[in-house]
Chains A and B, each alone.
Chain A
Amino acid sequence: MQKKNWKAWLYLLPAIAFLSVFMVYPLIDVFVYSFEEGYNSASQTFWGTGLYNYSYVLHDPYFLQAVKNTFILVIITVPVSTGLALLISLGLNSIRRLRDFFQTVFFLPYVTNTLAVGMVFMILFKKTPYSDGLINLLIQFFGGQSVDFIDGPYWAKILVMCIYTVWVVMPFKILILTSALASVPQDYYNAARVDGTPPLRIFTRITLPMIAPMVFYLVITGFIGAFKAYSDEVAIFGTNLNAAGMNTIVGYVYDMLYGDSGGYPSYASAAALILFAIVLTITVINLMIGRKSTQF
């Protein structure tokens, strides 16, 4: 028996070792960093402990810009993508022909390198000396004013960012909602049809309650994912997000850590912990609302 215990721990050893070094220790360390004031990564010294790093980050205009961008992104993309995914999944569920084809196509963005495809979006939206870009030509065709979506006004950049984010997150949502819809027992629909229930009522009284837990799951993961947005923005606006005014909170953390403005792990830690606090708060609020609204 004793020998067996010893063996079990041996099996677990690699996992425990890696998790301790790269998960548990860093988790403690990030708090330590965030309270060390004036940390110098070259000499590994600091001159005090306290809340200065938090105060610095909260007063940094780049951070405030990043918070603003991130919140706009979350507030727009989560409802839009969830609603759109629901609509598309309902459509998918009601057809038989071409269904497999559509499902495959809709899933494609999930398996693509978002950095690479983001560049295609950049080209479609960008205005160059040679051409206004396809999207602008479309806008002009319909009688609108062309605008530079990549280097132009703030609202235009936000718009591109949201469009690309929605494009990227849709596959996961469609996949989850389609399988949720498929698992609603057909008997319910048959019974409703016998009673002559109108379609809208079937949707609000049968479909929606049955898939509510999954919609709710998507909203929560959607919020968390959108708060951590970063690489999609790099793909469209380039690595210097601060200059473009399009940084996100996670981008701010990484910029503080590394790159031209880097070398400040203390500020990065404080910003990361602020982000964590925001995400935790929003998730708890979501859970509280969810518990109320998914109980029937």
Chain B
Amino acid sequence: MDYEKDSLRVKRRGRVRSVITYALLGLWALIVLFPFYWMLLTSVKSYSAYNAEYIPSFFTLSPILQNYVDAFTTVNLARYFVNTVIFTLATTAIMMVVIIFAAYAFARLDFPGRDLVFGLFLSLMMIPAELVVITNFVTITNWGMRNTFWGLILPSVTSVFYIYLLKENFEQIPEELYKAAKVDGTSDLKYLFKVMLPISQPTVVTIVILKVIECWNSYVWPRLITDDETRFLVSNGIQEIRENGFGRENIPAMMAAVVVISVPLIVLFLIFRKKIMAGVSRGGTKG
């Protein structure tokens, strides 16, 4: 009797707690999602309708796509977009080559001074980007590479952290495999591409995705190195659109551009959700 009452009370308390928990989580989900909803909503409102609303309406019955047409015709959004795709793909591809070879040398090859060099590499991880960006700006300017893709790409094609991550992964592959391959007369290079990379594929994919996200969102370096509008990436492009684009008041067209810029990464995230989250919790930093 007493026991029954007790368990009922515990149950009720548990239910109250779970209601509060869900309310809290739901509230945060709302705060996270609302800006996305708002940009999507605003981007399909017509210019006149948007400006006529003193109290903005939370939905629209007559969505239009004109703003998207404007975003691609009156400003250079398509150009920014293509530039960013080229920049992202080239930077990621070159970086992968650089770090795969470096990680392989550190993980599998024996040579005098290896641990010392690796230690030096690791110590470079502590250097904040803000310190080196000044000289890099001068270097790239002196090389006449401002407003070129090479100027954008070159400073960010190595990452000590990713070398470290990949090296750790390579080292987990049993040494016996390597010896067996040596006996068979497989060359180092062939072993790297036929055995090590396929085995380490999950880590490689994670690094690629993290780098793509980083490239797509990069703002500071592109801003320093490009002042020619035809070389802008999306981050600088959106800033340019805001300050000189449609005219300050055409918010709906601006939001259409924002949606276009945000969609690729969100799609990428929804496809590779598990990988991205695992990758970030292992190696991402932001915040």
Interface string of B1-31 (1 = CB under 8 A from A): 0000000000000000110011011001101
Contact between chains at B269 and A108 (CB < 8 Å)? yes
Contact between chains at B154 and A238 (CB < 8 Å)? no
Contact between chains at B224 and A254 (CB < 8 Å)? yes
CB contact list, B136-172 vs A, under 8 A: 136-139, 154-155, 157-158, 160, 163
Q: Using Cβ atoms and an 8 Å threshold, which residues of chain A touch B101?
A: 11-12, 14-15
- Return the chain B residue nearest A226 by Cβ: B287
Contact between chains at A112 and B287 (CB < 8 Å)? no
**Is B176 located at the chain interface by the 8 A CB criterion?**
no
**Is A102 located at the chain interface by the 8 A CB criterion?**
yes
Q: Using Cβ atoms and an 8 Å threshold, which residues of chain B touch A26?
A: 131-136, 139
**Is B83 located at the chain interface by the 8 A CB criterion?**
no
**Is A186 located at the chain interface by the 8 A CB criterion?**
no
CB within 8 Å for A102 and B29 given contacts A225-B285, A228-B130: yes
**Is A56 located at the chain interface by the 8 A CB criterion?**
no
Chain A nearest CB, measured from B15 CB (Å)? 13
**Is B93 located at the chain interface by the 8 A CB criterion?**
no
Contact between chains at B102 and A15 (CB < 8 Å)? yes
Contact between chains at B109 and A11 (CB < 8 Å)? yes
Interface string of B167-186 (1 = CB under 8 A from A): 00000000000000000000
**Is A287 located at the chain interface by the 8 A CB criterion?**
no
Cα of A134 to Cα of B35 in the assembled complex, Å: 11
Q: Using Cβ atoms and an 8 Å threshold, which residues of chain B touch A175?
A: 277, 280-281
**Is B193 located at the chain interface by the 8 A CB criterion?**
no
**Is B116 located at the chain interface by the 8 A CB criterion?**
no
Contact between chains at A265 and B134 (CB < 8 Å)? yes
Contact between chains at B104 and A11 (CB < 8 Å)? yes
Q: Using Cβ atoms and an 8 Å threshold, which residues of chain A touch B132?
A: 22-23, 26-27, 30
Q: Using Cβ atoms and an 8 Å threshold, which residues of chain A touch B285?
A: 172, 221, 225
Query: Considering only CB atoms and an 8 Å cut-off, how many residues of chain A contact the other chain?
Result: 91
Contact between chains at A7 and B224 (CB < 8 Å)? no
**Is B115 located at the chain interface by the 8 A CB criterion?**
no
Contact of A117 among B35, B124, B127, B130 (CB under 8 A): B35
Chain B nearest CB, measured from A31 CB (Å)? 9
CB contact list, A18-59 vs B, under 8 A: 18-19, 21-27, 29-30, 33, 41
Q: Using Cβ atoms and an 8 Å threshold, which residues of chain A touch B277?
A: 103, 107, 175
Contact of A222 among B138, B276, B287 (CB under 8 A): B287
Cα of A92 to Cα of B117 in the assembled complex, Å: 43
Chain A nearest CB, measured from B284 CB (Å)? 6
CB within 8 Å for A167 and B24 given contacts A22-B136, A33-B134: no
Q: Using Cβ atoms and an 8 Å threshold, which residues of chain A touch B65?
A: none
Q: Using Cβ atoms and an 8 Å threshold, which residues of chain B touch A87?
A: 24
Q: Using Cβ atoms and an 8 Å threshold, which residues of chain B touch A171?
A: 286-287
Cα of A130 to Cα of B250 in the assembled complex, Å: 12
Contact of A95 among B21, B134, B135 (CB under 8 A): B21
Contact between chains at A169 and B286 (CB < 8 Å)? yes
Contact between chains at B286 and A110 (CB < 8 Å)? yes
Q: Using Cβ atoms and an 8 Å threshold, which residues of chain B touch A11?
A: 101-102, 104-105, 109
Contact of B154 among A18, A81, A117 (CB under 8 A): A18
Contact between chains at B134 and A257 (CB < 8 Å)? yes
- Return the chain A residue nearest B268 by Cβ: A111
Interface string of B188-226 (1 = CB under 8 A from A): 100000000000000000000000010011011001100
**Is B61 located at the chain interface by the 8 A CB criterion?**
no
Cα of A225 to Cα of B286 in the assembled complex, Å: 7
Interface string of A233-264 (1 = CB under 8 A from B): 01000110000000000100110011000000
Contact between chains at B139 and A23 (CB < 8 Å)? no
Chain A nearest CB, measured from B233 CB (Å)? 10
CB contact list, B107-137 vs A, under 8 A: 109-112, 114, 117, 121, 124, 127-128, 130-137
Chain A nearest CB, measured from B153 CB (Å)? 11
Interface string of A220-234 (1 = CB under 8 A from B): 011001001011001
Contact between chains at A115 and B286 (CB < 8 Å)? no
Contact between chains at B216 and A120 (CB < 8 Å)? no
CB within 8 Å for A253 and B33 given contacts A111-B265, A119-B238: no
Q: Nearest 7 pairs between A and B by C-beta?
A: A169-B287, A26-B135, A26-B132, A15-B102, A11-B105, A8-B111, A8-B109
| Complex A-B: 19 CB contacts under 8 Å | A8-B110, A11-B105, A14-B158, A22-B136, A26-B135, A26-B136, A29-B135, A95-B25, A105-B33, A108-B36, A114-B219, A116-B234, A123-B251, A130-B52, A170-B32, A231-B220, A257-B224, A265-B138, A268-B134
Given A19-B158, A120-B255, 16 new contacts (CB under 8 A): A8-B111, A9-B111, A11-B101, A18-B154, A26-B134, A26-B136, A26-B139, A30-B135, A167-B32, A173-B287, A179-B281, A218-B287, A238-B242, A254-B220, A265-B135, A265-B137
